[in-house]
Amino acid sequence: MYYFANVNSNTVSVINTSSNAVIATISVYIFLSGISITLNG
């Protein structure tokens, strides 16, 4: 999985790296400037 921050639309796209398909789009309600992912969630 790859998580892509869409800064201009305040969303995060979840991309399946095997198929390069967007499998989800998550809306966020704050100014989005980046994301941080950890192994333990």
Cβ burial of 15 (10 Å; 0-12, 13-18, 19+) is middle
Q: What is the pLDDT of residues 1-41, one digit of tens each?
A: 888 888 888 889 999 999 999 999 999 887 767 777 777 75
The radius of gyration of the chain from alpha carbons, rounded to an integer in Å, stands at: 11
0.95 cut: is pTM over it? no
SS3 6: strand
What pLDDT shows up at residue 22? 97
